[in-house]
Structure 1
Amino acid sequence: MSKKIVMVVTNHKEMNEEKATGIWLSEFAEAYLEFSKKGYDVTVASPLGGTAPVDPGSVDESTPQEFLETKHYLQDTVNLNQVSAEDFDAIFLPGGHGTMFDLPKSKKLQELLRDFYEEDKIVAAVCHGPAGLVGATLSNGQPLVAGKRVNAFTDREEAETTLDQYMPFLLESKIRELGAIFVAAPNWHTHYEVDGNLITGQNPQSTLSVIKAVVEKLG
């Protein structure tokens, strides 16, 4: 039986009327392609289902064609309400600034993350994807990330993008407030943390490292 993974992406497409956002394409594409090469069965889901937007800033003339081709899988995503943890071996949250707006508000995602984690299944996220972990609590009421080594897009990196002013919160600061042991690397360096079945990466450069860690655990 092949391993089954659900990738949860954002539906949110704008920071404000002037700035578009969405998924950071490389974080989705690298993960989707690597999982597929391993023969895993990949389902792409989102809070609302349907089309999931790609951040226009994540695509330019240097974007590999195979990355662009994965946009096809974002045209008709499954609604999260149709997803059950018992049907999958792992959940993965790629980033993009869009995740900061809708993933923390998704009650269904919070339930799924709790179920995956408490069923000893893999919970993984990269860059802004860990925004989805912000609202997740365990059955005992504690934040899922409390007391765990966690990595995500840092406040310093956010400041460097100059997009911090448009964010509903700063991801590193919020994760620290929830009691996580936030482990940061210098800006734009590949870095990820593994704490049990929780795997998190810092930035777009860290996507492949996170995926390799997921694959290693899944076998």
Structure 2
Amino acid sequence: MAPKVLIVLSSHSELGTTGKKTGWYLSEFAHPYKVLKDAGVSMTIASPSGGAAPLDPSSVEAAKDDSVSVDFLHNNSALWEVTHKVSDFLGKADEFDAIFFPGGHGPMFDLPLDKDSNALIKEFWEKEKVVSAVCHGPAALVNVKLGNGELLLKGKQVTGFSNSEEDAVGLSSQMPFLLEDKLKEAGTKYDKTGDWGEKVIVDGRLITGQNPASAHGVGEAILKAIKA
């Protein structure tokens, strides 16, 4: 039977007080999707609200010369235009091999506070499934508490979008928190490379990537982990 991965997108579309739109980031979904699909992995797409999950328009512009993302954008819109609700999968972690959170600024606003998402991540982890995220996607993990009352991320080696990268895109003041800071506050062993460089960290069943350049590598790490 083909391995199965649950991919969770943000439902949040407003970029702080800028008046601009945000959401999930195109290349951070497109590249892992291609890696997994080419390997025969079955994927199901969810979001906190269900229905259409907002695609960050700036990520479309950023990926205009990236053939993988352009192809994904033009041929797979049904994936994000009709998503399932995250709550639909509570109690169903055994049906999947992994859960994956693409980034974009949207996840910073809704996923850390979403009770269903937090409960689902807890369930996946305690059922010994792979938990993975890239760029701002690790924001979904920062508040997840396990059955023993400890944060899932405590003591884990992780990466995620860095403070210097957030400063570089001029959005630090618009974020509800800085992801690098929050990951450190959660008790992680946070690590990063230079701005926009590829960085993927695998700590057992926990897989994180720093930024858009890390998305392909995260997809490969997920595939390796679920085939192990």
TM-score range, shorter chain: over 0.9
Q: What residue identity is the alignment partner of 2:72?
A: F
2:65: which partner in 1?
62
Determine if contact 2:32/2:220 at 8 Å carries over to the other structure: no
Determine if contact 1:4/1:87 at 8 Å carries over to the other structure: yes
Determine if contact 2:5/2:96 at 8 Å carries over to the other structure: yes
Distance in 2 of aligned mates of 1:81 and 1:54: 21
107-116 vs 55-64, which moves further: 55-64
1:5: which partner in 2?
5
Instruction: Say whether 1:14 aligns with 2:24.
Output: no
Give the RMSD, CA atoms, in angstroms.
1.1
Aligned residue runs from structure 1 range 158-169, under 5 A: 158-169=166-177
Distance in 1 of aligned mates of 2:142 and 2:225: 23
After superposition, give the CA deviation of every residue in 1:88-131 in whole Å (9 maximum; x if it has no partner). Answer: 11000000000000001111111111111111110000000000
Distance in 1 of aligned mates of 2:77 and 2:140: 21
Q: What residue identity is the alignment partner of 2:113?
A: K
Deviation of the 1:63 alpha carbon: 4.5
Q: Name structure 1 gaps, 5 residues minimum.
A: none
Deviation of the 1:186 alpha carbon: 0.8
Q: What residue identity is the alignment partner of 1:21?
A: T
Deviation of the 1:70 alpha carbon: 2.6
Please list every run of at least 4 consecutive aligned residues from structure 1 whose deviation after the TM superposition is greater than 6 angstroms.
none
1:138: which partner in 2?
146
Distance in 1 of aligned mates of 2:3 and 2:184: 32
Deviation of the 1:17 alpha carbon: 5.6
1:75: which partner in 2?
81
How many pairs are equivalent? 219
**TM-score with structure 2 setting the length:** 0.93
**TM-score with structure 1 setting the length:** 0.97
Distance in 2 of aligned mates of 1:168 and 1:197: 28
Deviation of the 1:212 alpha carbon: 0.6
